Structure 1
Amino acid sequence: MENYTKAQVLIQALPYIKKFSGKTIVVKYGGNAMINEALKENVIKDLVLMKCIGINIVIVHGGGPFITDLSNKLNIQSQFINGLRYTDKDTIEVVQMVLAGKVNKEIVALLQKHGENALGITGIDGNLLKAKPICSDVDLGYVGDITKVNVKLVEDILQLGYIPVVGSIASGDNDGNLYNINADTCAAKIAAALKAEKLILLTDVDGVCLDPKDKSTLISTLKLHEIPKYEQDGIIKGGMIPKIECCVEAIRNGVKTSHIINGTTPNSLLLEVLSDEGIGTMIY
């Protein structure tokens, strides 16, 4: 890249740096960007750069592939119902080991390797997240809906200059059980409680496309009132529906914009946050 081009990139980013410095962005980290080592490094560097320019970063993560892998090693069968992992007592122990241990601490270690202090917690710690059994026509075991977010805990961690890294498990409201929480939902609830500037869901797709097989049909901006028609026309369907629902809930509860972006694209976070065009679908 020529020096002039590099300078133009920085100049284009300047108003966004000024706009978002001091603001909070919640990033749901998952998909192939969590599995592929090169992509993992790329995402972490984006997050560190955003922190360096004054953005308050909160990371929320799941770890589905790692939970499945450990379950297989322990001869625990993985079962999915309507896209959600059936979570019995054996499975919730695996979820806790993976999300509170392996995945959470790997993310923290990577952030610290690149010079940013991070604090790894789950929804259990400090009663960050309270939950009840998810309302469903079928038994999903220990899968929960979040009922309360202890937002002060996250604010205190941010105030100390750390990046909170939150594993998506919650404590039961009154029953003393632990609950497996969908990471997109977890991120949306935390973003809403923080009244964050942005909620960003890192996925393995580019965003909402008129034709999922054609990247050129990406819908770069999507207003809330347009969503029902896209659902009716079958453009928003399948696994995109719950992601859109999380984005909508976040916005209706105080988050300014929600974004669905492809974490497998290098520097996708920087391109979405600090450029005119963006790279995914912004919902507002």
Structure 2
Amino acid sequence: MKYIVIKCGGSVLENLPRSFYQDLVSIHESGEWTPIIVHGGGPLINSLLKELHIDTTFVNGLRVTNNQVLDVVELVLSGSVNKQVVRNIIEVGGNALGISGVDGCLLKAKPTNQSKTLGFVGEVVEVNQQIITGIVQLGFIPVISPIGIGADGQRYNINGDVAASAIAKALGANLCFISDIPGILVEKNGVKRKLNKVSKTAVEELIANQTIYGGMIPKVNAAIDGLVHNIPEVGIINGFEKKSIIDYLNGKEIGTKIVLEEEIA
């Protein structure tokens, strides 16, 4: 059984077509791949923070998180968004079980080395794989909200891309980021084109020249970290194209594949 960790960002989740969930259930029922969903929820978090008159800022695509912001992040991610994804899967005939990274210490975390700037933003130090494999053995698609928990019980806001990479590393799984664009785009002579394959060095250059910026930075950094730690493959694909996940898993040239240098040749 092969695992595929699928990360869906909040801005994408709001508009993903029914066909995405149908494809997800097809993959699950095929028995060849076992999908695990990790989701974000940025736009809904932003809306609720604005409604509550709580200021929010970002540093390199990561949300600065104090206790007040963290309450809202957990409410949205582990409540509204998580259960909506579960319902969407059930509506197309699938079985899904939603869980937070706090439950059963699924995502054990510690503060990032930028904690003075970012507050309660964490990085994953350990994934409780038994919880995921247990959910899978019961026949459910795991749907995971990226809130982590420290040894002292402190909650942490974990970037969804970072959480997805950590889970994929722990399971030796492939990792796929779902986007609303066909992959990493670069512009030359006023024309944008998709990169079918991009190396670690090329990604670092694209970040340096600001072709890759904002929320895409933690995404590609998480991809590279995963590859260095033996994730077999990382891709970024457009979830709005019918059968895009199925085509990707079948080896078709779709989206952008992020690879280490030695694989580029």
User: Does TM, scored on the shorter chain, surpass 0.5?
Assistant: yes
Out of 15, 18, 21, the residue aligned to residue 44 of structure 1 is 21
Measure, in 2, the Cα distance between the counterparts of 1:86 and 1:209: 28
Partner of 1:19: none
Aligned pairs for 1:126-137 (under 5 A) are 126-136=104-114
Q: Deviations over 1:54-109 (max 9, x none)?
A: 12010001101111111122222222233221211111111111111100001111
CA pair 228-105 structure 1, distance change in 2 beyond 3 A: closer
Partner of 2:249: 273
3-state SS of paired residue (1:103)? helix
Equivalent residues of 1:218, 1:281 under 8 A apart: yes
| TM-score, normalisation: structure 2 | 0.88
- Offset at residue 138 of structure 1 (A): 4.5
Q: Deviations over 1:221-243 (max 9, x none)?
A: 234465455556x3753233332
Does the alignment pair 1:95 with 2:73?
Answer: yes
Q: Specify the structure having the higher radius of gyration (Cα).
A: 1
CA pair 140-160 structure 1, distance change in 2 beyond 3 A: same
CA pair 45-119 structure 1, distance change in 2 beyond 3 A: same
Partner of 2:164: 187
3-state SS of paired residue (2:82)? helix
| TM-score, normalisation: structure 1 | 0.82
CA pair 40-135 structure 1, distance change in 2 beyond 3 A: farther
Partner of 1:207: 183
Measure, in 2, the Cα distance between the counterparts of 1:137 and 1:97: 22
3-state SS of paired residue (2:186)? coil
Measure, in 1, the Cα distance between the counterparts of 2:219 and 2:204: 14
Measure, in 1, the Cα distance between the counterparts of 2:212 and 2:258: 16
Measure, in 1, the Cα distance between the counterparts of 2:217 and 2:69: 26
Equivalent residues of 1:43, 1:267 under 8 A apart: yes
- Offset at residue 137 of structure 1 (A): 7.4
When the two chains are superposed, the root-mean-square deviation of aligned CA atoms in Å is: 2.1
Relative to total residues, which structure has the larger strand share, 1 or 2?
Answer: 2
Partner of 1:66: 44
Equivalent residues of 2:11, 2:42 under 8 A apart: no
Structure 1: runs of 5 or more not aligned: 1-21
Equivalent residues of 1:32, 1:263 under 8 A apart: no
CA pair 237-134 structure 1, distance change in 2 beyond 3 A: same
Equivalent residues of 2:40, 2:77 under 8 A apart: yes
Does the alignment pair 1:152 with 2:130?
Answer: yes
Measure, in 2, the Cα distance between the counterparts of 1:110 and 1:222: 33
Aligned residues: 256
Structure 2: runs of 5 or more not aligned: 260-265
Equivalent residues of 2:10, 2:39 under 8 A apart: no
Measure, in 1, the Cα distance between the counterparts of 2:210 and 2:53: 39
Measure, in 2, the Cα distance between the counterparts of 1:165 and 1:219: 29
Out of 203, 213, 216, the residue aligned to residue 238 of structure 1 is 213
Equivalent residues of 2:99, 2:142 under 8 A apart: yes
Partner of 1:9: none
